[in-house]
Chains A and B, each alone.
Chain A
Amino acid sequence: MSLWLPEASTTAPEIDHLIIALVLISCVVLALVFGLMLLYMFKYRAGSDVDRGALADKTWRLETAWTVATLVAFFGLFVWGANLYVRLFQPPADALKIYIIAKQWMWKVEHAGGQREIDAVHFPVGRPIQLVMTSEDVIHDFSVPAFRIKYDVLPGRYETLWFHSDRPGTYHLFCTQFCGTDHAHMIGDIVAMPQAEYQKWLERNGTGETLAEAGKTLFMRYGCSGCHGGNGAGGNQSGSTVRAPPLAGLYGSPVTLADGRVVTADDRYIRDCILTPDTQRVASYPPVMPSFSGQIGEEDLLDIISYIKSLAPEKPL
């Protein structure tokens, strides 16, 4: 039995500090509560003839004192926890993306280079990793205790989670949102590898076709190219008869929608555009795109998004 859990991510020690502080505060309060209780149980037991004296008839000073003390302590804990939480969910811009598709009862993992694995996530240490996660059926939860992170994986949308590990090793991956019969078997390995080993792993597991390349084939097959152009150049420019927005350079850039909102074209946005185009219509384009909801599987969607992403010019880091 080990009462120690490895701190395998850069944020794990910070979360442990918060938990240790909470443990210490709890110990102080428990010592106070149990100490006073035991003291009074002994000192003021019915048989004891210790002098009770007169009772204080005003209690509001004491009440105010402990109310204020409690409020101040709680506010401090709130700020500490909240500040760390907000940072936990702000991914750095240069994170390496890995795609997670959950289904009853397995984790399907896809890397940009086309490597696919099940119930295991291999990744390099020394750089931030961002997971883009979705579910094909019910709600799951991607939890890595050694990194002190978890987040629900929902059907019908992308959730993201990021971490940065400097410690090579293999850690538990648990599904922590109850998802049906074999919930307890929806576990896997998180494998943090040194850069060089990771490169070798990528080469060994390469399929010869990256996600973006697979996506290009799908882009043709689903007829996207009919309007958006053969290489995503946009309607009208490449012989298409329908006016559709160009896709090259789209990923990561701001888009003005027909309803006036300005959004950043990230994975989530592109996914929503494909599945529910009428809610995401780009300003000055006609609402002609059909919905692909229910027609493209999660894995194909990721491929197509990777393809669209590959059409973007390299962003300087």
Chain B
Amino acid sequence: MSAVEVEAGTVKGSYLTDGVTLRSWLLTTDHKRIALLYLGSITLFFFVGGAAAALIRYNLITPQGMIASAETYNRIFTVHGVVMVWFFLIPAVPVTLGNFIVPLMLGARDLAFPKLNLASWYLFVIAGAVVLYSLFVGGVDTGWTFYTPLSSNYARGHVVLTVVGIFIAGFSSIATGLNFIVTIHRLRAPGMTWYRMPVFLWSLYATSVILVLATPVLAMTLLLLAFERIFGIGVFDPALGGDPLLFQHLFWFYSHPAVYVMILPGFGVVSEIIPAFSRKSLFGYKFVVWCSISIAVISFLVWGHHMFVAGTSLYSALVFSILSYMVAVPSAIKVFNWIGTMHKGFIHFDAPMLYALGFIGLFTVGGLTGLFVAALAADVHLTQTYFVVAHFHYVMVGGMVSAFFAGLHYWWPKITGRMYPEMWGRAGALIIFIGFNLTFFPQFILGYLGMPRRYHSYPPEFAVLNVLSSAGATILAVGYLLPLAYLTWSLFRGERAPANPWRATGLEWMTPSPPPTVNFISTPIVTEEPYSYPPPESVQRHV
């Protein structure tokens, strides 16, 4: 891909050894170190949200609820939603893998605004601290969606405090999005034209555009909610002259595009890994690129599909239904392209590839069940039930979290300079895939049978499927603890990683693992298309 050869040996030390004091980490402007700061923070939040998920599944083992108080249960699932959405799913790939890899992939020395990058981490930490504090002083019981007038005038928890936390996290998102957009426009290495950019960069570009355009709407909405709650200004509560549906429109105008903020970077990760482990260039590169962009555009026009039974006009529902089908088309095209990439490849089954294959399978189920809830009449029956819960967990957890793990394993040697233990990596991917399906597949059936979401207790006929789901969750929990254990172990004991352990293309593999603080000793010059793997006939001769 580049004329630059790996210059290992000429480099003394790496970004990891360039200053070892706490101060050198907390005041760093190196995108690679900031990525690690973020990785630590989101790992913490992932396990806080995961603990809440474990309590949810524990409660639902019996019909009357294992946790004595409904109020406690309601607060637990709200914590789960708030922490997972805003403090794990939305930031996860962009701020960790994105932060680390974007400048390396571009052949740049850092992001365009290194200090802004550090500031956005501090904003994120402050936001997270506020939300965790609100959790410790009692939490909130509105669900992560904060529907009015429940949240503005009826809920008793610390709504304003939590909302302030999310408000601050929003600014962190905006700063990151802005940083990526400017970096990709301005800091591409010589020869790195737009169509020579790997899909990961395109995906993060599309993601950043959504972050910058949609997050301010969330900020305004939450501000209005806080005003209504504190000062009694009637915006959403009809008793004060407001309109409760206005909140839903504004909330989903942000929160639906936010779904694509979560999944688009995952698409990007998988689009790197499938070619790398198939030793073959990405099938339909330009289609995949423009699918990302069109998803980002159409995602702004589908928020109404969260409101098919909410009391909006019948005919607006028709428009939102067809637009929802439109936004699913590019996602379907991507799945076909990934499979096309495997065709005639030389497929290796290292852990990143297994996670990526798991992603394709689970995301496809999530996408297909999206067709159910986009079909208006079917949505009337399925919405607000466990069917929807299963659907978005297949997309967000089966899809996005698998992609995050895929990327984490793929770039782990580059980030840490160590190899993770391969057998454990493969076992983790397999256990997560199995545990995930056991946890969430029964929920599709529960939803069809009518079990509503957010129920602390439920009629006894739903018990068997709930027990199945909770049993699956224990396997899933093992699956998520496993990478935590072996990745941590590998930091100290892992085999030293070469510069390019996967023989992959991409500028990030042209510099030592871990990279020096300056990323590249001399500026790389790009002369080739992305994913320039040798054609099969030339490889076959060696086999």
Contact = CB atoms under 8 A, between A and B. Distances in A.
Interface of A: 1-3, 5, 14-15, 18-19, 22, 25-26, 29-30, 33-34, 36-37, 40-41, 44-46, 49, 51-55, 59, 62-63, 66-67, 70-71, 74-75, 77-78, 80-82, 84-86, 88-89, 104, 137-139, 141, 143, 145-146, 148-152, 154-157, 159, 172, 174-185, 187, 294
A34 B357 CA distance: 10
B385 A176 contact: yes
Contact of B381 (A145, A152, A180): A145
Q: Closest 5 CB pairs between A and B? A: A145-B450, A156-B238, A81-B375, A85-B376, A52-B536
B288 to A, nearest CB: 10
A143 B360 CA distance: 34
A111 B450 CA distance: 26
Q: Please indicate which of the listed interface residues B154, B342, B344, B459 has the most CB atoms of chain A within 10 Å of its own CB.
A: B344
Interface stretch (B216-224, B332-340, B487-495): B332-340
A43 to B, nearest CB: 9
A59 B375 contact: no
B345 A44 contact: yes
Given A44-B345, A145-B381, A33 B311 contact: no
A139 B339 contact: no
A157 to B, nearest CB: 7
B41 interface: no
B154 A137 contact: yes
Contacts of A18: 375, 377-378
B149 A49 contact: no
6 contacts: A53-B536, A59-B287, A81-B376, A85-B376, A150-B380, A184-B454
A26 B244 contact: no
A152 B310 contact: yes
A183 B342 contact: no
Contacts of B314: 85-86, 89
A1 B381 contact: no
B381 to A, nearest CB: 4
Given A30-B368, A52-B537, A53-B344, A157 B287 contact: no
Given A40-B342, A70-B328, A88-B380, 18 more contacts: A1-B463, A22-B378, A30-B365, A34-B361, A37-B339, A46-B348, A52-B344, A55-B535, A59-B340, A63-B287, A78-B325, A137-B154, A146-B450, A148-B380, A150-B381, A183-B454, A184-B458, A187-B459
B138 interface: no
B239 A294 contact: yes
A139 B445 contact: no
Nearest to B319: A82
A74 B330 CA distance: 12
B457 interface: yes
Nearest to B152: A138
B343 interface: yes
Nearest to B237: A155
Q: Please indicate which of the listed interface residues B309, B325, B343, B374 has the most CB atoms of chain A within 10 Å of its own CB.
A: B309
Interface in B266-300: 278-280, 283-284, 287
Interface residues of B, number: 94
Contact of B378 (A66, A81, A104, A179): A81
Contacts of A53: 344, 536-537
B376 A33 contact: no
B27 interface: no
A19 B378 contact: yes
Contact of A37 (B308, B357, B372, B379): B357
Contacts of B213: none
Contacts of B244: 139, 154-156
A55 B360 contact: no
Interface in B342-397: 342-349, 357, 360-361, 364-365, 368-369, 371-372, 374-385
Given A15-B380, A41-B347, A29 B452 contact: no
Nearest to B317: A85
Contacts of B535: 54-55
A14 to B, nearest CB: 7
A151 B70 contact: no
A71 to B, nearest CB: 6
Q: Please indicate which of the listed interface residues B332, B349, B458 has the most CB atoms of chain A within 10 Å of its own CB.
A: B332
B201 to A, nearest CB: 21
B381 A74 contact: no
B540 A52 contact: yes
Contacts of B360: 33, 37
A88 B377 contact: yes
A37 B342 contact: yes
Contacts of A29: 364, 368
Nearest to B376: A85
Contacts of A180: 74, 141, 150, 154-155
Contacts of B71: 181
A116 B248 CA distance: 33
B465 interface: yes
A26 B347 CA distance: 27
B74 A183 contact: yes
